[in-house]
Structure 1
Amino acid sequence: MSATLSSPKTRAALRTSARISVELLLILVMLTVALWVLGRMWSVVWPLIVGLLLTTLTWPLTRFLRRRGWRPALAASVVTLLFLLGAVGVVALIAVPVASQSGELTDGVVEGLQKLREWAAGPPLNIGDDQITKALDTAVARAQDGLGSMVTAVVTGVSTVVNGVITAVLAVFLMFFFLKDGPRFLPWLARQLPGRLATDVPTVAARSWDTLGAFVRSQALVGLLDAVFIGLGLWILGVPLVLPLAVLTFVSAFVPIVGALFAGFVAVLIALVSNGPTDALIVLAIIVVVQQLEGNVFQPMIQSRGLGLHAAVILLAVTLGGSLAGIVGSLLAVPVAAVIAVVWNYVREQLSDPPQEPETDEPHTGVAVPS
């Protein structure tokens, strides 16, 4: 005997499916509108994001000074000044040694490229001049595209260098105010919100802040590992400018994909100019091994432990962010995914039923039983 469908149950199921579909469409529309508004306000949002990232990096020192009795304004001023001095020192550490040998490096680069061309034209490759020229043109075009993407990631929607400087200045000023007045923000926010929002929003904001700090610290640790291992390899091979290259490797770790490629290209090029093609190939092998360890071992393990995200989720988030918004999307994908996970976990906590106490016939004596 075949079973027949129940008309009331079918209609109820269809109504439920339609209601859920409409609700999902409304959520998608709201997200689209929010992203559109975010894009229109990006020139303001980007300095805010950079300021928050810098604040998470400099807040531990500020907190240390405040706990030692320093006034908030003084602690924030000292930390901001130290940050600026450190940034200028990093730039000088990279720029001054390179500039002092710029003439020699330029001549060596030209000579090195010519040697590569002659080597590729001979056996066993036997690549013709036309093929070499075409490959070089393609490489130059890709390098220009990559450089343009990196510049876009730095200024993000800002069309001139002046606006880029303004963005950096705004980020530093915002960092100062976040360091100075940050602990007072959540109590102020709680007073402005009505009802349950006064508890929920500050709680989610506090958890998101902890997550953002974990992301920046983990990224800095990954960059430090890259700089130490690559710098050690360069030092063993006797490649010049080891310290500037190590610093460049550390700084470029905060710009996914393009940063690592750029730092690796500079290191291999300098090794080629100074030590010859054999050491350049060894440097390339060292960089490839370190980058593979970083991308497949260090970064997923460190970030998954600090952010509470599975390594596969991190890899997928970076891929999705890069496909949607390029380098900026790759940079922000992991913290955004972590914040979404924070919000989801909090909502799930609020919607879950409290755990029920197991029923027992024995009276409760109030004495803790050791486990």
Structure 2
Amino acid sequence: MTRPHPPTGPGADHPSPAGAAADGPADAPAGATGAPGDAAGDAAGDAAGDAADRDAYRLLADDVRGEPAASRGRRGEVEGYFGRPGRALTGHPFAFGFTAALGVLSAWLLVQALAASASVLILIVVSLFLAIGLNPAVTRLEERGLSRQWAITAVFAAVIVFFVGFGVAVVPPLATQTGDFVTQLPAYIGELQNHPQVRALDQQYQLLDRLQQYLLSGDLGRQVFGGLLGAAGVVVSAVFSALTVLILTLYLLASLRSITSLGYRLVPASRRERVRLLGDEVIKRIGGYVAGNLLISLIAGVTTFVFLSIARVPYALALSLIVAITDLIPLVGATIGAAIGTLVGLFVSLPTGIACLIFFIVYQQIENYLIAPRIMMSSVDVPAAVTIIAALIGGALLGVVGALLAIPIAAAIQLVLYEVTLPRQDRH
């Protein structure tokens, strides 16, 4: 069988017996000789050969519409050299089951990967949250003439100074109080022995004898040693997580513009401008929430430090820093800080503890009804019920981190709801 070649001539695209017969005499040499019957037979043979070649070529090449012959063969228009293709396996039970099994396996592997990297993902989300929150301060420094590099350096240096100051203010008093407690422990035990109620309970239940046996046994040492190792592991993990968050925050803050630009480019061009406007507004609200929350905590810490210094409560700086940090936690943070400050005040004297309790109650009312609404009104305008529900759900999912992230996320959802969902529903 001869190798097919592209047909030529006026009847190449749509060959027919008439066209083939018409092309036959043209293929004959101009000076051909022979009998008329032989010439007619040669012309008919040449025409039949050309038609066969054109049919073979049509099976291999594209037709005039640019469609491959293989796809036309799948539709049954032509038959290739290897026969008509069979029915597709799209609806075959084996193909369906295999595809479904691959889908389930992929979903299971994805869930396992997310579960294994949950702690890392939380650190990344917290770092991104802090980077967005620190971005307004960087922007303001840029508006004052600093370059973005120097603005980021200044803001990040302030953050590091705060954490170092917190450690310097809290760790020494904690170590001192722990040492004092260990030193005074025998005296505390002696006071318990001289107490009439404790003495009566000891005579009835032999509490001191059991305590002495427990202290002399090796169980206490093993438990204390294990507890110290567990506490050391928690401290090391917390320090590592804090350093990781600081480093990630620095990198994310430096590349925040490029990250947002890349995210907007992933959106189709027809919707990119609207998505960019909504995204910038969400970032602005999250940054405003973080900045406002930090400002409220700063006011709480400074006010607490002034009061505790006047009341001569020990470790006023450490307590004010604890109050400032716990005030960042929605709903329960201020109560935790107030409880710690009041408890230390009670150790000084009963009147001092009562004065601390009254101060924290009055200040919380001022913060809740005067300070926080004025600061948060310009950044995050979320109804009180939504704030409480979001904080509860976030705390149930991710603990303190979830409670911190819940309110700005609720603000972002509210923005998308009012700007996208509700107008679309009103048009239909």
Fold shared per TM-score above 0.5: yes
Following TM superposition, by how much is the alpha carbon of 1:324 offset from its aligned partner in structure 2, in angstroms? 4.9
Q: 1:59-208 to 2 correspondence within 5 Å?
A: 59-67=135-143, 70-100=146-176, 103-104=179-180, 163-208=237-282
The alpha-carbon distance between structure 1 residues 68 and 289, as it changes in their structure 2 partners (threshold 3 A), is closer
* Higher RCO (CA 8 Å, separation ≥ 6 residues): 1
* Structure-2 residue corresponding to 1:338: 411
> Which one-letter code corresponds to 1:54 in the other structure?
L
Partner Cα separation in structure 2 for residue 344 and residue 114 of structure 1 = 66
Structure 2 CA distance, aligned partners of 1:327 and 1:85? Answer: 23
Shift in alpha-carbon separation, 1:346–1:192, aligned structure 2, 3 A: same
Distance 1:179 1:88, change over 3 A: same
| Cα distance change, pair 55–112 in 1 and its aligned pair in 2 (3 A) | farther
Instruction: State the shift of 1:85 in Å.
Output: 2.7
Structure 1 residue runs of 4 or more that deviate by more than 6 Å after TM superposition? 34-38, 105-115
TM-aligned CA distance change 1:112 to 1:162, over 3 Å: closer
Per the TM alignment, residue 92 of structure 1 is displaced from its structure 2 partner at its CA by 0.9
Q: 1:170 to 1:346 in 2, by over 3 A?
A: farther
Deviations 1:186-220 (A, max 9, x none): 33333333233423433232111111112112222
In structure 1, runs of 5+ residues without a counterpart are 1-33, 122-129, 134-158, 355-371
The residue correspondences of 1:11-50 to structure 2 (distance < 5 A) are 41-50=117-126
Could you say which residue in structure 2 is the equivalent of 1:290? 363
User: Are 1:277 and 2:353 an aligned pair?
Assistant: no
Q: CA deviation at 1:226?
A: 2.5
Is 2:299 the partner of 1:225? yes
Question: What SS is found at the alignment partner of 2:379?
Answer: helix
Q: Is the 8 A contact 1:252 1:263 kept in 2?
A: yes
Instruction: Indicate if the aligned counterparts of 2:331 and 2:388 stay in contact, CA closer than 8 A.
Output: no
Equivalent position to 1:316, from 370, 386, 389: 389
- For the Cα contact (< 8 Å) 1:98–1:241, is it kept in 2? no
Deviation by residue 1:161-192 (Cα, 9 ceiling, x = unmatched): 55544433332222222322222333333333
Question: Taking structure 1 as reference, are residues 70 and 198 closer, same or farther at Cα in structure 2, changes over 3 Å only?
Answer: same
Assess if the C-alpha contact under 8 Å between 2:134 and 2:287 holds in 1. Answer: no
Q: Is the 8 A contact 2:166 2:321 kept in 1?
A: yes
- Give the AA of the match of 2:269: G
Q: Compute the displacement of 1:344 (Å).
A: 1.1
Does the 8 Å CA contact 2:126/2:401 hold for their aligned counterparts? no
**Corresponding residue of 2:4:** none
1:369 corresponds in structure 2 to none
Which secondary structure does the structure 1 equivalent of 2:289 belong to? Answer: helix
TM-score, normalisation: structure 1? 0.62
Q: Is the 8 A contact 2:297 2:324 kept in 1?
A: yes
Q: How far apart, CA to CA, are the structure 2 residues paired with 1:284 and 1:82?
A: 32
TM-score by length of 2: 0.55
- Structural RMSD (CA): 4.4
Superposition deviation, residue 258 in structure 1: 5.5
| Counterpart Cα distance in 2 of 1:65 and 1:322 | 34
Distance 1:333-1:191 versus aligned 2 partners, 3 A rule? closer
What is the DSSP-based 3-state SS (H/G/I as helix, E as strand, rest coil) of the residue aligned with 1:306? coil
CA shift at 1:248, angstroms?
Answer: 1.5
* Cα shift at 1:160: 5.9
Question: Residue deviations 1:199-253, cap 9 Å, x none?
Answer: 3433232111111112112222332333244333323322122222112211121
Q: Structure 2 counterpart of 1:347, which letter? A: V
Listed one character per residue, the Cα deviations across residues 236-295 of structure 1 (whole Å, up to 9, x for unaligned) are 32212222211221112123456434433332232222x312211221232233335545
Residues 208 and 193 of structure 1: is their aligned pair in 2 closer, same or farther, counting only changes over 3 Å? same
Give the C-alpha shift of residue 67 in structure 1. Answer: 3.9
Opposite residue 289 of structure 1, the aligned amino acid is V
The correspondence of residues 237-276 of structure 1 with structure 2, limited to 5 A, is 237-256=311-330, 259-273=333-347, 275-276=348-349
- On the 8 A contact 2:133/2:287 being kept in 1, the answer is yes
The aligned counterpart of 1:329 is 402
AA matched with 1:91: G
Work out the number of aligned pairs and report it: 290
Matched AA of 2:152? A
Counterpart CA distance in 1 for 2:120 and 2:314 is 41
Give the whole-Å Cα distance in 1 for the aligned partners of 2:184 and 2:298: 29
Deviates further, 185-194 or 332-341: 185-194
- 8 A contact 1:189–1:198 mirrored in 2: no
Contact 1:303 1:309 in 2 (8 A): no
